[in-house]
């Protein structure tokens, strides 16, 4: 196993799948003078109000009474930290819901190895897809369905047992719980004809792992096991970009840099539009990530920039390799709900950022 350092270049959100409700699951307040969100511990609340008042608590919840009011009623001296499961720095105006970051059984925030591996897989697919012929036909499966199963089978193997990604082993990256997370408010940079591109119509508060955090995790390409399986014909041929971790990191850098360059080119064409509020700021943030990626390219595969998690956008999540296909507009029709309403726009037409126009999801991996 290689020990890999992971650093958050921007905030990162890996969702637990749980959306917390204000007043019920979390409350906002002050802690040591800072704006915080307290994620409520029902066990601690019950200790403070007493089991004899459980029915009163349930009735209050049904009336929509906030949990902090219930605690104050039965335990007037209780502080926010007395009934919090954890505290989150609040960097934004609150909304009524909060998308929770994933935590382990000990309450520590972590980036699952599966999330890292999935982002790596996207980068490798975009790299390998360059050499796969007749992708239009293979993508559409003779016009009946739009999925990448046939392309992925040719790139990695026809089923999980034959997949080359069996041999990429990635551990979880566990972070400290000492104020390593915060709440930010997500908005959109949304290309529109008659409104500002700075779209705050549908804000969403999310719990993020803050930038400039780091920890370590284990990563390995098990070449000995691969050679054994491959000699028996039980596995797909390993792509050249997966023969070592340095080769893999180089491919990730090239992929990330390609997407960043195309983002800069796309939005520079729109920077002078009448409605292009904050487009210049967005380009500046993308260029910062480009500079970091170019530095990693000079390390001979010792480090790379990868994008993962919420707010990464359609192009980074898919690898954007389908954009080069002659039938990409058919892919758009299948991917964009109510596509007929947006035919005058490119796809994708919006980018998710926080309300300070900060990017999400960029991490640096270093050996």
If you write DSSP's letter for every residue of 203-259 in order, what string do you get? EEEEEEEPTT-EEEEEEEE-HHHHHHHHHTT-SPPPPGGGSSHHHHHHHHHHHHHHH
pLDDT value of residue 214: 96
* Share above pLDDT 90 across residues of the chain, in percent, rounded to a whole number: 80
DSSP state, 83?
S
pLDDT value at 289 more than 70: yes
Q: Which of 200, 211, 177 is nearest to 95 (CA)?
A: 200
Question: In this structure, are residues 152 and 310 in contact, taking their beta carbons and an 8 Å threshold?
Answer: no
DSSP state, 266?
H
Burial of 212 (0-12, 13-18, 19+ CB in 10 A): exposed
Using DSSP bridges, classify how beta strands 97-101 and 198-209 pair: parallel, antiparallel or unpaired.
Answer: parallel
Question: In this structure, are residues 305 and 292 in contact, taking their beta carbons and an 8 Å threshold?
Answer: yes
**How many Cα atoms are found within 13 Å in the side-chain-facing hemisphere of 146?**
12
Helical packing angle, 67-74 and 54-62, nearest 10°: 150
Helix, coil or strand: residue 161:
coil
Among the residue ranges 84-88, 140-144, 181-185, 203-207, the one predicted with the least confidence is 140-144
- What is the average pLDDT value for the chain, to the nearest integer? 93
- Cite the DSSP H helix spans in 98-215: 113-128, 135-140, 149-156
pLDDT value of residue 141: 64
CA dihedral 149, 340, 336, 140 (to 10 degrees): 10
Model pLDDT for residues 195-252, shown as the tens digit of each residue: 999 999 989 999 999 999 999 999 999 999 999 999 999 999 999 999 999 999 999 9
Mean pLDDT of 354-366: 97
Helical packing angle, 149-156 and 113-128, nearest 10°: 90
Q: Which of 186, 219, 225 is nearest to 312 (CA)?
A: 186
Helices (H) and strands (E) in the chain, counts: 11, 15
At 363, the pLDDT band (50, 70, 90 cuts) reads very high
pLDDT value at 143 more than 70: no
* Share above pLDDT 70 across residues of the chain, in percent, rounded to a whole number: 98
Among the residue ranges 116-125, 133-142, 156-165, the one predicted with the least confidence is 133-142
State the Cα–Cα distance between residues 70 and 203, nearest whole angstrom.
28
pLDDT value of residue 171: 98
Helix, coil or strand: residue 303:
strand
Q: Which of 118, 353, 127 is nearest to 252 (CA)?
A: 127
pLDDT value at 285 more than 90: yes
Report which secondary-structure segment, H or E, holds 18. Answer: strand 15-21
pLDDT value at 145 more than 70: no
pLDDT value of residue 144: 58
pLDDT value of residue 176: 87
Q: Which of 205, 173, 199, 172 is nearest to 186 (CA)?
A: 205
Model pLDDT for residues 317-357, shown as the tens digit of each residue: 999 999 988 888 888 888 888 888 888 888 999 999 999 99
Model pLDDT for residues 26-37, shown as the tens digit of each residue: 999 999 889 999
User: Which pairs from 39-47 meet CB under 8 Å and 24+ separation?
Assistant: 39/84, 39/85, 39/86, 39/87, 39/88, 39/100, 40/67, 40/83, 40/84, 40/85, 41/83, 41/84, 41/85, 44/82, 44/83, 44/84, 44/85, 45/70, 45/71, 45/83
Mean pLDDT of 68-72: 92
Question: In this structure, are residues 319 and 21 in contact, taking their beta carbons and an 8 Å threshold?
Answer: no
pLDDT value at 68 more than 80: yes
């Amino acid at each position: 196993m290689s020990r890999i350092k992971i650093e958050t270049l921007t905030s990162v959100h890996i969702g637990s799948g749980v959306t917390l409700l204000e007043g019920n699951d979390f409350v906002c307040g002050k802690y040591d003078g800072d704006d915080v969100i307290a994620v409520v511990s029902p066990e601690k609340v019950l200790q403070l109000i007493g089991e004899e008042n459980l029915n009163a608590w349930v009735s209050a919840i049904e009336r929509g009474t906030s949990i902090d009011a219930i605690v104050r009623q039965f335990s007037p001296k209780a502080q926010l930290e007395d009934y919090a499961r954890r505290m989150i720095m609040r960097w934004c105006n609150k909304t009524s819901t909060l998308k929770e970051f994933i935590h382990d059984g000990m309450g520590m925030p972590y980036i699952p190895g599966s999330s890292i591996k999935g982002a790596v897989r996207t980068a490798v697919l975009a790299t390998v897809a360059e050499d796969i012929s007749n992708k239009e036909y293979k993508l559409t499966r003779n016009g009946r369905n739009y999925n990448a199963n046939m392309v992925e089978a040719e790139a990695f193997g026809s089923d999980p047992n034959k997949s080359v990604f069996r041999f990429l082993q990635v551990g979880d990256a566990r972070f400290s719980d000492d104020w390593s997370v915060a709440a930010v408010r997500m908005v959109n940079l949304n290309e529109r004809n008659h409104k500002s591109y700075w779209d705050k119509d549908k804000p969403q508060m999310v719990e993020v792992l803050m930038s400039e955090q780091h920890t370590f995790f284990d990563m390995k390409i098990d070449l000995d096991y691969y050679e054994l399986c491959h000699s028996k014909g039980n596995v797909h041929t390993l792509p050249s970009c997966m023969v070592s971790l340095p080769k893999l990191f180089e491919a990730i850098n090239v992929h990330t840099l390609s997407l960043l360059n195309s983002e800069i080119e796309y939005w520079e064409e729109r920077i002078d539009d009448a409605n292009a509020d904050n487009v210049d700021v967005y380009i500046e943030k993308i260029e910062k990530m480009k500079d970091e990626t170019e530095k990693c390219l000079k390390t001979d595969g010792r480090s790379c920039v990868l994008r993962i998690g919420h707010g990464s956008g359609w192009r980074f999540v898919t690898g954007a390799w389908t954009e080069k296909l002659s039938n990409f507009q058919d892919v758009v029709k299948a991917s964009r709900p109510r596509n007929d309403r947006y035919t005058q726009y490119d796809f994708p037409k919006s980018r998710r950022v926080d309300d300070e126009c900060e990017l999400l999801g960029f991490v640096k991996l270093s050996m």
